[in-house]
Structure 1
Amino acid sequence: MKKSIVALALLLLAWGMQAQEAMQDSTGLPGDNFSLEGALDLFKNSKDLEDFEKKLNMEDSGINNLDLNEDGETDYIRVIDNMDGDVHAIVLQAVISKEESQDVAVVEIEKTGKEEAILQIVGDEDLYGPDVYAEPFEEDGNGGKGGPAYDDAIVRVVVNVWVWSPVRFIYAPLYRPWVSPWYWGYYPGWWRPWHPAPWSIYHRRVIVYRPHYHIVSTHRVVHAHRVYTPHRTSSVTVKRNITVNRSRQVGNTTVNRSTTVGTKRSSDGTKAAGVKRSTTVTNKNGDQTTVKKRTNAAGVKKEGNTVTTGRKTTKTGVQKSGNSVKATKKTKTVKTKRKKN
């Protein structure tokens, strides 16, 4: 009985640690729902770029969990290769609407020798924030003498991806750059969109790729990125629904500011826009002051000759320094009606 209780306690502790790790790994940005590491694994195990595109858009692959246009279904990801000599910038692009697309990431590849090539995947800054790169990982442990401290020393190895099937494919003599033929409303017959999984489930699904692919801060494939930059595509719709986090240092005080802008349409046809701003000031003693402001412009709703508009602003201040002080201010303006004669 005692052993069972101990085992249960250890299980609950492990579950709690996993849940905490998942929260720490979440940035709150759309890129949380598209694993760069998982995409690289799909690329490695594809025979060519057409096969890669198909794998990205299969529910069983478990990599694409994006719903950038917020229609309740995953977005189709098309693959487009921008080629310049021995350099390839392979764009993964989400189809948002008839008029809009949004780049998710770009697989950048450069040939560095007769049978050598390097590769990185770069997350689009709108979805991941700036400077997010992932690359295949191999390690070279120090197997020599020197004690335990030396045995744990790890040397990062730049992986030669020449042996990967899609890499050999794009460097074949008769290769023509792959450009996906699919677009909004015109998709392959095998594709069926699905409902995105909750973050807690999706995170556990893709974390298995991390031992083999690592997020790094060094951009190695710079020529390919210059090829890609003129072709970058972004969506106004996606930008409207992104949380922007900014931090700045003022003397001994740190100011963190978060802004979220969103637009949604309710079931009755009302289109509502909202802005949420949160500012946290931390002084040198660790005391924090947080001010939150939310503005909802609820509506332009037309019923016959009547137009109804509304606006609600809520401002809350919370000061934390052992004790809490809360102040709330609400301003509400509702229903402005105009009727034609």
Structure 2
Amino acid sequence: MKRLSFLLLLILGITTSFAQDDDKNDLPEYTGENFSLEGALALFKQANSLEEFEKLINEENNNVNNLDLNNDGEIDYIVVQDIQEKDTHVIVLSTYLSEKEKQDIATIGIEKTGNETAILQIEGDSELYAENTIVEPFEVDEKIEKSKGGPNVPEITTTGVVVNVWFWPSVRFLYAPGYVVWVSPHRWGFYPRWWKPWRPYRYSIFYGRCAHHRVYYHRTATHRVVVARKVYAPRRSKSTVVVHNRRGTTVIHKNKRGKTTVVKTKRRGGRR
């Protein structure tokens, strides 16, 4: 009987160990990957206002937000704020980690380039994503040309094009006459009644659930909304955050004067 009990405990211990190792390996390379930039743009395109956009990104079934930056076992609520300077808008997505701690997650920069033309990009915050993680709408322009290999065989060539977002409802909302700059009324401990936080999903599950967003939005290394980045830079919010990912642990310290120091250590395991 004792031998049987010992074997059962041994099997349970081995199973638990494998499960813990599996959890450690099921982590994104960067913590920010638990928020889908592609998904955020997809929801921004369909929203009719920034208030509606904030609601959409905080709904569980839209599969955009899987962040738990303060490690309390519940999804963080994302607040939306607009920063406007002339014909440039910066939509800032942030989360409160405590009453005084706020961390920016990503920014959507929008610039008007003509009477009925505008461009936009979303960029992940460098504390949570790899440097220059930029996503933009993706469209392909196809042209039929004469084949170089034969006299009567046409060839179709495809090239990526910069998407004009002027006719997106959310963009028209921002540039409508009488628009009042939107700042979310929500903060730490003050959330909308409809919002119910949920436990984060395993990263592999979350990645699969937001895969369809990556069809129409792709990553690029080119900054197209240069003015928006300059407008946002002095207003960026960084928190005292401990970020755990597969690259290790990044501890961000902020003193009373706002000076930030970053300490990086080698990885010793998964998230705490």
Give the structure-2-normalised TM-score: 0.79
Given that 2:249 and 2:265 are in contact with CA atoms closer than 8 Å, whether structure 1 keeps it comes out as yes
Q: Output aligned runs, 1:59-208, within 5 Å.
A: 59-146=60-147, 151=155, 153-208=157-212
Deviations 1:211-231 (A, max 9, x none): 200100000000011111111
Structure 1: gaps of 5 or more residues? 1-24, 245-257, 264-274, 279-293, 296-341
1 or 2, which has the higher strand percentage? 1
Number of the residue aligned with 1:45: 46
What is the root-mean-square deviation in Å for CA atoms of aligned residues?
2.4
Q: Secondary structure at 2:61's aligned position in 1?
A: helix
- Paired residue type of 1:177: V
Q: Secondary structure at 1:223's aligned position in 2?
A: helix
Given that 2:145 and 2:156 are in contact with CA atoms closer than 8 Å, whether structure 1 keeps it comes out as no
Distance in 1 separating the partners of 2:148 and 2:194: 56
Number of the residue aligned with 2:249: 260
Deviations 1:167-215 (A, max 9, x none): 0000011001100010000111111100111111111111111120010
Q: Kindly state the Cα deviation for residue 276 of structure 1 after the two structures are TM-superposed.
A: 5.0
Distance in 1 separating the partners of 2:207 and 2:155: 31
- Paired residue type of 1:120: Q
Higher relative contact order (CA 8 A, sep 6+): 2
- Paired residue type of 2:266: R
Q: Secondary structure at 1:42's aligned position in 2?
A: helix
Please tell me whether Structure 1 or Structure 2 has the larger radius of gyration of its CA atoms: 1
Instruction: Tell me: CA distance 1:229–1:261, structure 2 relative to 1, closer, same or farther (3 Å).
Output: closer
Instruction: Tell me: CA distance 1:26–1:194, structure 2 relative to 1, closer, same or farther (3 Å).
Output: closer
- Paired residue type of 2:32: G
Distance in 2 separating the partners of 1:196 and 1:259: 20
Q: Kindly state the Cα deviation for residue 144 of structure 1 after the two structures are TM-superposed.
A: 2.2
Instruction: Tell me: CA distance 1:150–1:187, structure 2 relative to 1, closer, same or farther (3 Å).
Output: farther
Distance in 2 separating the partners of 1:187 and 1:232: 22
- Paired residue type of 1:211: V
Residues matched between the structures, number? 230
Give the structure-1-normalised TM-score: 0.63
Distance in 1 separating the partners of 2:127 and 2:31: 8
| 1:236 has 2:206 as partner | no
Q: Kindly state the Cα deviation for residue 61 of structure 1 after the two structures are TM-superposed.
A: 1.1
Given that 2:80 and 2:184 are in contact with CA atoms closer than 8 Å, whether structure 1 keeps it comes out as yes
Deviations 1:128-165 (A, max 9, x none): 12111100000012322326998463211110000000
Identity %: 48
Distance in 1 separating the partners of 2:70 and 2:155: 49
Distance in 2 separating the partners of 1:259 and 1:96: 21
Instruction: Tell me: CA distance 1:194–1:41, structure 2 relative to 1, closer, same or farther (3 Å).
Output: same
Q: Secondary structure at 1:94's aligned position in 2?
A: strand
Q: Secondary structure at 2:210's aligned position in 1?
A: helix
Number of the residue aligned with 1:54: 55
